[in-house]
Amino acid sequence: MPPLIFALNVVTSALVLRWFVWPRLRTLDRNAALVPLVAFHWVRTAGILAVYPGMTGAFHASDWAWHIAAGDLLTVVLAWIAVGLLRARQRAAIPGVWLFNVVGLVDIANAMRNAIASSVPVHTIGAQALVIAFGPPALVVSHIAIFVLLLRRPAGGGRFV
């Protein structure tokens, strides 16, 4: 994916978060605000499709596709666990979100590194191009938002503002 498209989609995702999502999240306590941001990563199951024939054209059997699928599967499972812990108000919720968020962001960085090393942007990768164009920018923005929430202390046990 050309860097300009990635940058434009990061800006678009950041604006959507800032204008439409963040105002609602600010009314919630930190754990409640983390739930939709972490749950958003459940869409990473789309990355698993990279190993299915027809989704990435002739590129489907590459190491790149398997790295995408494995990393996204691990991240989805960690997101399920983190959301479950948050909703149940378990003590392990915040450590679970930290684990999910670090693993998920490292997975995106690894996928981008592998894509560049495999020259993915210059190959025809079929329908997976849509996942690459829109998924990682939105996921990176949400990872940053999650880090912001994790690093802020809740004000008076209430909202995280």
Structure tokens belonging to residue 61: 């059997």
In tens, the pLDDT along 7-23 reads 899 999 999 999 999 99
Domain boundaries defined on the chain: 3-153
Cα 14 to Cα 16: distance, rounded to the nearest angstrom: 5
Reported pTM: 0.84
Q: How many CB atoms lie within 10 A of CB 78?
A: 21
Cα 7 to Cα 54: distance, rounded to the nearest angstrom: 27
The CB-side HSE value for 99 (13 A sphere, CA atoms) comes to 15
Structure confidence at residue 45 as a pLDDT band (50, 70, 90): confident
pLDDT the model gives residue 161:
41
In tens, the pLDDT along 111-122 reads 888 777 776 655
Structure confidence at residue 48 as a pLDDT band (50, 70, 90): confident
